[in-house]
Amino acid sequence: MKITGRVILLLVAAFGIFCVYSVVSLFIPRHGETTRVSDLRSAFSKAGPEIEAVFTNSLIQKFPFEGAIEWRLILFKEPILSLDGRVNTNALRPFVSTNAGTQFFWSGTDGTNKDGFAGEWPTKEEYPSVNWTSMSFGTPHTNLFGAVIDGTIDMVSNRVHFLIH
């Protein structure tokens, strides 16, 4: 009788530890750093099937990253994958040109602190006094069941931030 009680107590304790770990692991972000986009596949696969499917044929594969790419995965109600890195500004314009299905928006201010916005690559002729500070872009939010990619580039520091959710 004592052995059966100990076994049951051990099973209950093991189950409790498993439950606590399962709940706590939801709040522990996973993170890493890589220099190659192809190495991000493991981070995308950890995020679940919807986000993993985005990796195969997406903006991420073609984006002109330069240097290290930091990634952070947060598993909460819905998984969110965050990517941070630098953009190769020489390759940015061809990237924008070849991704016509992506929505791009530029924002900045002119000399009088008025905000300027453009939905296509801004030219000096159209916006002679605007200092472009950021560019936002993303996939259209049309599919309720697919993952969405949102990105922002800080044109001053050439830093890029992606959210895939």
Q: What digits encode the pLDDT tens for the residues 30-51?
A: 888 999 988 888 888 888 888 8
Q: What is the pLDDT of residues 88-114, one digit of tens each?
A: 989 988 988 888 778 888 888 887 777
Helix, strand, coil % in the chain, rounded to nearest 5: 35, 35, 30
Q: What is the pLDDT of residues 47-74, one digit of tens each?
A: 888 888 888 767 888 899 999 999 998 8
* Closest to 138 (Cα-Cα) out of 155, 156, 153, 127: 153
* DSSP one-letter string for 55-71: HHTSHHHH--EEEEEEE
Which residues make Cβ contacts (< 8 Å) with residue 117, sequence separation at least 6? 105, 106, 107
Least confident of 80-84, 108-112, 132-136, 141-145: 141-145
Measured CA to CA, the distance from residue 95 to residue 5 in angstroms comes to 66
- Whether this model's pTM surpasses 0.85: no
Q: DSSP code of 126?
A: T
Residues present in the chain in total: 165
